[in-house]
A and B are shown apart, each in its own frame.
Chain A
Amino acid sequence: MFKKVLVANRGEIAVRILRGLRELGIASAAVYSEADRSSRHVRRADEAYLIGPPAPGESYLKIDRIVELASRIGAEAIHPGYGFLAENAGFARACEDAGIVFVGPSSRTIALVGDKMEARKTMVAAGIPVVPGGDRPLSSDDELVAEGERIGFPVMLKAAAGGGGKGMRVVRDAEGLPAAAKAARNEAGSAFADDRIYLEKLIENPRHVEFQIVADSHGNVVHLGERECSIQRRHQKLVEESPSPALTKSLRAKMGEAAIKAARASGYVNAGTIEFLLDRNRDFYFLEVNARLQVEHPVTELVTGLDLVQEQLRIAAGEELSFKQLDVFHRGSAIECRICAEDPENNFYPSTGLIERMREPAGPGVRVESGIHAGFDVPIYYDPLISKLLTWAPTREQAIERMRRALAEYSIEGIKTTIPFHKAVMESEAFRSGEFDTSFVDEVFFPMYAGRTLPHAEVAAIAAALIREAERGEAQPLAVGAKESAQGGWRQPPGRRTWGGWQLHLK
């Protein structure tokens, strides 16, 4: 096993990886930008190195600087987390060239699965169902229309180098194709410096179900079951759970087998995810391979009892998997809510700034993965995901109730977060019934949510007015950062000691 590992990331995922390293007794090195000097991951690591200014392009994305640093400090491996350099084949290659182990698949595999058309071809050859469509780039309008008519409208335009919804366009007829193709090419060209596009048949309102796989360098591949990720807003996952309410035992077995085949076909080693679309007839189609540790990996950890970060490190160190497919058991139900620094009452705009006070939920079946703390100034430069809240329970209903309870306990003050949004999702009939697809949040839930009245606006208004009333005649405001006084509207309750609670009596 390694003696020292560098974590090339920040925020909650860096904290998560550092915990895994600590448990394995491996020394850890964190990297941080100027905006992250007081971030939690810096304090959780044995060593910490400043790698540049706040903008990711000048710090967390600096391949040469990070690889050179790892060599200099004697780190034998680099864990990239997710995002930043996690699926950058150039970074994996730079590690390989420098003799440093990249905790993830080989640069060859990353490049193969990163090219959506190459990945499709590979899966077709392996006998895995893919969405009907093209496996060649289309340049002329005539070619596009011919291909669209061959597959049958509606179709989805996709970028070969795609990701994050960029370059994707739904097209419902041949007339709309040339203009949509032009826009998709421009978007793909500027996002990926690669403007190749292709067509796939549109699967209407699919569910998004993905399988976690782990593969060692000795040829063993095991799947760890699925994660249901259909609760999305604008192609961004918000809630994930396992098991999926949509899968039967036999469908799970079939999809799991396909996931293992997909991993083998792409020469995958380490932990990875095979994403599928599931249509209304319960037919599934390969979507893509995520060549990294996923944001939602703890969902799988809760139902399998495994530690995926530690498995990743063991695999990267050349060890054999310690379990076979038949050793993997799934127990109970787990849900994850992604808590983002966004204001759900204000169009999900980012809400950055100082976290004045924070209280994390606890109690039975609750897990929090966060990179924040009271007194932390949430920077504007990075991903809005600040925390992940997970619950586990024997049944899905109990896990949902536990999530509602945990969300109610979670308070993050000073910035707005998506906590109230998640509460409303947990209370919605469609989510509770398990019958929803990827269009649910955008088309059904969000319009309803945006139009609702806040449940406690009146109580909050009363609280504000009472505080204002108490402040009358006070030199100093009594709310935050304020000083109370025993005179005026505030007095010490009789019979209590001086350190007791100050009580407001409006006299």
Chain B
Amino acid sequence: MKYQVEIADETIELEVEKTDEGAKVTVGDETQPADLVRIGRSPIYSLILGDRSFEVSVHRRDKIYQIVLDGATYDARVMDERALRLAAAGGADEEVRGEVVKAPMPGIVVGIAVEVGGTVEPGQGVVTLEAMKMENELKSAAGGVVKEIKVEVGQGVTQGEDLVVIE
């Protein structure tokens, strides 16, 4: 099966082929045997790739696999052939027109600098979020008209939550 993995600002295409011993993985020109073993009922896996040994921990959050490897955390979005075909045909994910300013981190809304119907310049501060004693001003990448404000001051938000919709 062919896969496309979005990880750390990269898109990696790879192919997994089952064999009697385990699996073979091809990335680019390189094909190597891969053996992945889960350790008990824990989220820890031992991965032997070629003859290199890795320990990875895996947590799944919705469509994202969170992989901890050598102390670094990677968020991997895995699409298989079928999903890719669906996406190419359109209608795989619901598309939102315009820009939606999302919370890049969990926090508390401490300021909203725009009003519904108001215009926003590209790069303009829209919402101020506070978490862990730090205030962060969130800016709109695109300009446009504010269509909807989905939060209010004092409200707690989770990471990735929609804050302001700009058209």
CA A457 to CA B65, docked complex, whole Å: 13
Contact residue among A342, A413, A455 (Cβ-Cβ distance under 8 Å from B66): A413
Within 8 A of A (CB), among B52-69: 54, 56-60, 65-69
Out of B47, B65, B132, B136, name the residue touching A352 (CB < 8 Å): B132
Kindly state the separation between the CA atoms of A441 and B74 in the bound complex, as whole angstroms.
23
- Give complex CA distance A345, B66 in Å: 14
B153 lies within 8 A of chain A by Cβ:
no
Q: Which residues of B contact A499 (CB under 8 A)?
A: 40
Quick check: B40 and A501 within 8 Å, CB to CB? yes
Query: Across the interface, do B59 and A480 meet the contact criterion of CB distance under 8 Å?
Result: yes
Contact A461 B5 (CB under 8 A): yes
Asked if A503 and B14 sit within 8 Å, CB to CB, the answer is no
CB distance from A86 to the nearest CB of B (A): 15
Q: Are B56 and A484 in contact (CB under 8 A)?
A: no
What mask results when residues 465 to 507 of chain A are scored 1 for a CB within 8 Å of chain B, else 0?
1111110100001111110100000100000000101111111
With a CB–CB cut-off of 8 A, which chain A residues contact B7? 457, 460-461, 464
| Bound CA–CA A396/B90 (angstroms) | 58
**Known contacts A414-B59, A466-B47: does B133 contact A383 (CB below 8 Å)?**
yes
Q: Are B105 and A455 in contact (CB under 8 A)?
A: no
Are A463 and B43 interface neighbours, CB within 8 A?
no
Q: A457-B7, A458-B27, A469-B16 are in contact. Are A350 and B132 (CB under 8 A)?
A: yes
Given contacts A407-B71, A504-B36, whether A462 and B19 have CB atoms under 8 Å apart is no
Q: Could you tell me the distance in whole angstroms from the C-beta of B165 to the nearest C-beta in chain A?
A: 21
A454 is an interface residue with CB less than 8 A from chain B: yes
Bound complex: CA A464 to CA B47 (Å): 11
Tell me the bound Cα distance from A413 to B65 in angstroms.
Answer: 12
Q: A352-B132, A462-B34 are in contact. Are A410 and B71 (CB under 8 A)?
A: yes
Q: Contact at B27–A505, with CB atoms within 8 Å?
A: no
For chain B residues 142-167, which have a beta carbon within 8 Å of chain A?
156, 159
Q: Chain A residues near B73 (CB, 8 Å)?
A: 413, 416-417, 420
User: Cβ of B132 and Cβ of A462 under 8 Å apart?
Assistant: no
A458→B12 contact, CB < 8 A: yes
Query: CA A352 – CA B130 in complex, angstroms?
Result: 12
Q: How far is the CB of B31 from chain A (nearest CB, A)?
A: 12
Task: Give B16-47 as 1s and 0s: 1 = Cβ < 8 Å from A's Cβ atoms.
Answer: 10111011010100000011111111110101
B23-A506 in contact (CB<8A): yes
Closest residue of chain B to A457 (Cβ to Cβ) is B8
Q: Are A462 and B43 in contact (CB under 8 A)?
A: no
**Interfacial chain B residues near A461, Cβ < 8 Å:** 5, 7, 10, 12, 14, 27, 74, 76
Cβ of B49 within 8 Å of any chain A Cβ, yes or no, is yes
A332 beta carbon closer than 8 Å to chain B? no
Of A382, A407, A458, A463, the residue contacting B56 (CB under 8 A) is: A463
A–B Cβ pairs within 8 angstroms, 23 of them: A346-B104, A350-B106, A352-B131, A356-B59, A384-B132, A384-B134, A423-B71, A454-B72, A456-B69, A459-B56, A460-B8, A460-B74, A461-B14, A461-B74, A462-B34, A466-B16, A467-B58, A470-B36, A479-B59, A481-B60, A501-B38, A503-B37, A504-B35
Give chain B's interface residues, CB within 8 Å of chain A.
1, 3, 5, 7-8, 10, 12, 14, 16, 18-20, 22-23, 25, 27, 34-43, 45, 47, 49, 54, 56-60, 65-74, 76, 78, 80, 104-108, 131-134, 136, 156, 159
Which A residues form the contact surface with B (CB < 8 A)?
341-343, 345-347, 349-353, 356-357, 380-384, 407-408, 410-411, 413-414, 416-417, 419-420, 423, 453-470, 472, 477-482, 484, 490, 499, 501-507
